[in-house]
Each structure stands twice: as C-alpha cells, then as structure tokens.
C-alpha cells in the first residue's frame, strides 16, 4: 500500500502514518456530506497509484488523496478488480462493493475539470472503488495487498 489518507471533511484527504480501520472506515476520516459517502458499504474509497501516475502523465495535478481516496494501492491489476472481490491488506480484510461515482468536488484534480476521467462507464479501469470492512485492523503505508477474486472465494 502506498498511502493511507483521511480528512476532517471533503477533499483532498491527507496522508497519515497509521489509522485504525473499523466497520465504518478509518479513524479520523469524515465527509462533508453523508449523501453518497460513508456508511458500512462505502467505508473505504480506494484508488490505484498506477491510475494516478497515468493521469499525471496526461498533465493532471493529481496526488494520492486528491480525489478523496482513503487508500492508494500500487501493484494490483486495477482493471481486473470488481465488486465482490476482496483485498487482504495486512491483517485487514475488505470487500469491494461498487465503483464510485465521481462528483464536481474533485474537478480541480484535472487540468480541464473533467472528473469523468475516473468514471468506470467512461474510462474502465480508472475508477475509484468503494469497499466494506470485513476484518478491522490498523493500516499503515507499506502493507502488502493481496487480491482475492470473488470467483476464487466460492
């Protein structure tokens, strides 16, 4: 894992050295609005470091946490992740619940304001993901992340 990020509300989320993960998300992380954010099914927001790097190469001023993700993860086949898949992050276990729907609050992370660059329907494999927490734990950057596809869990 590259970065763990939280905020007092809104974006960007800022890097922390560690955060306790429970069923409702990371300790110290809050949202400006409960509409579309938070709750058990959207406890965490995830994004691949590789997506951020691709967007940077395109000239966008994006950094880990800029568009509201709690966990910036590197080294996974991001386009292969789907709702129902699980990720083992250190001793934590989370399950992907859905692709996020980006909103105008993240437009400043894109040079032309086009935040749909991270909309799954428009740019498959670039979307942020929401996840629920199955096994809480403390999270820190550097933890190993293992993809457990839904098909393998059965």
> What is the CATH number for 117?
2.40.33.20
The residue range of the domain holding 25 is: 3-153
What is the per-residue pLDDT for 36?
A: 52
Write phi, then psi, for 79 (nearest 5 degrees).
Answer: -60, -20
The model's confidence at residue 5, banded by pLDDT at 50, 70 and 90, is: very high
Strand spans (E) along the chain: 3-6, 14-16, 19-22, 25-26, 44-48, 71-73, 86-89, 92-99, 129-135, 137-139, 145-148
Query: Residues 46-68: what's their mean pLDDT?
Result: 97
* Interacting residues of 134 by C-beta distance below 8 A, sequence separation 6+: 86, 93, 94, 95
Query: Residues 148-154: what's their mean pLDDT?
Result: 77
Gap between the Cα atoms of 96 and 82, Å rounded:
7
Q: How many CB atoms lie within 10 A of CB 153?
A: 10
Burial of 132 (0-12, 13-18, 19+ CB in 10 A): buried
How many domains are contained in the chain?
Answer: 1
Rounded to 5, what percent of the chain is helix, strand, coil? 20, 30, 50
Burial of 96 (0-12, 13-18, 19+ CB in 10 A): buried
| Predicted structure pTM score | 0.94
Q: Which residue has the tokens 């992740």?
A: 81
What is the per-residue pLDDT for 29?
A: 94
């Amino acid at each position: 894992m590259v970065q763990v990020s939280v905020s007092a509300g809104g974006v960007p989320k800022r890097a922390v050295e560690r955060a306790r993960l429970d069923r409702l998300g990371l300790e110290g992380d809050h949202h400006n609005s409960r509409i579309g954010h938070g709750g058990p099914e959207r406890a965490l927001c995830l994004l691949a470091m590789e997506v951020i790097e691709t967007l940077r190469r395109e000239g966008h001023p994006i950094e880990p946490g800029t568009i509201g993700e709690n966990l910036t993860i590197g080294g996974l086949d991001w386009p292969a992740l789907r709702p129902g898949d699980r990720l083992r992050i250190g001793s934590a276990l989370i399950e992907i619940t859905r692709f996020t729907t980006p909103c105008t609050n993240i437009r400043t992370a894109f040079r032309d304001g086009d935040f749909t660059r991270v909309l799954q329907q428009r740019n498959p494999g670039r979307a942020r993901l929401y996840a629920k927490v199955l096994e809480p734990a403390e999270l820190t950057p550097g933890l190993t992340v293992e993809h457990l596809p839904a098909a393998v869990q059965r």
